[in-house]
């Protein structure tokens, strides 16, 4: 297995301290604080470890404080309810004695019922698009130090952008990105859900900068996640190509809002996301 992917999978393997208490490692991905997707993925893995025979269908999370990537994070799970069909869990992430994050997640027994979805956008396949990381690295010299470090590190997944990745003038707040892990991973659906939560935090909030012509990579704007929501509609494999269709309907009060829909290659809508975050222009 690819080394960077193996390390990501280890990151999602939490240590069980007590019945409903877990501890996860942290990683420096080149940002000033712990990557929000890491906390989101680990919290979902912790909640899933307290549920039997049911898969996550939704989660709603808030980021309360910046996490320290030099220290582990403790996850405390509250078993709010186990009903006939649904289970509800609340997870609190603690670091240095303070809450940095909390999340509510709901799990459901597999059931059959009416099935419909919106169609997948018509976009070029990933094989016809350049690797996004390779394209961005052509401009490393012009980036501030923190963004240069972020884009220089090797990652266990790849993105391919339908729209041009270079900074430009204001344009509609719409993006389409193909993404996948760079190697196969275990078949466990819990692992794939955790990985999807991890990866969903990339590029989502950046969509809100597009109507303003602001470049996050160039340091023109400060972005920080405030909340994150996900709905898991259908089974998914994150080691196969997925299309992330993003749109930002609004920004105001130094906050940006973005929604995402995730489709597989067959056109099935497998998940939806929503995120609001801090968005401040830098002088």
How big is the chain by its Cα radius of gyration, in Å? 18
Distance CA(206)–CA(260), nearest Å, equals 12
Distance CA(62)–CA(103), nearest Å, equals 6
201 is catalytic: yes
106 is catalytic: no
* Residue listed under structure tokens 């501030």: 144
Residues 173, 211 contacting (CB under 8 angstroms) = yes
Residue tagged active-site, from 161, 193, 200, 275: 275
Distance CA(159)–CA(83), nearest Å, equals 39
Residue tagged active-site, from 26, 87, 215, 225: 225
- Count, residues in the chain: 283
Q: Which of 2, 24, 30 lies closest to 11 in space, CA to CA? A: 24
* Residue listed under structure tokens 């989101």: 40
254 is catalytic: no
Taking the CA atoms of residue 196, residue 200, residue 202 and residue 207 in that order, the dihedral angle to the nearest 10 degrees is 160
Lookup: tokens for 67 = 């996490």
Residue tagged active-site, from 106, 201, 239, 272: 201
Residues 83, 21 contacting (CB under 8 angstroms) = no
* Residue listed under structure tokens 């130094």: 254
Helices (H), 93-174: 132-136, 145-152
Among all residues, which ones are annotated catalytic? Answer: 201, 225, 275
């Amino acid at each position: 297995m690819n080394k960077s992917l193996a390390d990501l999978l280890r990151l999602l393997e939490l240590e069980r301290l007590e019945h409903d208490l877990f501890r996860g490692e942290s990683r420096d991905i080149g940002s000033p604080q712990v990557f929000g997707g890491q906390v989101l993925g680990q919290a979902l893995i912790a909640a899933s470890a307290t549920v039997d025979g049911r898969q996550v269908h939704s989660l709603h999370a808030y980021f309360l404080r910046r996490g320290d990537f030099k220290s582990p994070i403790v996850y405390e799970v509250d078993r709010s309810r186990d009903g006939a069909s649904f289970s509800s869990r609340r997870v609190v992430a603690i670091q240095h004695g303070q809450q940095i994050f909390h999340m509510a997640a709901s799990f459901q027994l597999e059931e059959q019922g009416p099935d419909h979805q919106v169609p997948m956008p018509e976009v070029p396949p990933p094989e016809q698009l350049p690797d996004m990381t390779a394209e961005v690295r052509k401009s490393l010299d012009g980036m501030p130090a923190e963004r240069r470090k972020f884009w220089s590190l090797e990652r266990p997944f790849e993105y391919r952008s339908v729209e041009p990745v270079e900074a430009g003038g204001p344009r509609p707040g719409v993006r389409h990105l193909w993404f996948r892990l760079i190697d196969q991973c275990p078949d466990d659906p819990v692992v794939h859900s955790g990985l999807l939560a991890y990866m969903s935090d990339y590029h989502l909030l950046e969509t809100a900068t597009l109507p303003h012509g602001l470049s996050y990579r160039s340091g023109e704007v400060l972005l920080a996640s405030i909340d994150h929501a996900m709905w898991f509609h259908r089974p998914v494999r994150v080691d196969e190509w997925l299309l992330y269709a993003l749109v930002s309907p609004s920004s105001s009060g130094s906050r940006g809002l973005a929604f995402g829909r995730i489709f597989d290659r067959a056109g099935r809508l497998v998940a939806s996301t929503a995120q609001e975050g801090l968005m401040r222009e830098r002088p």
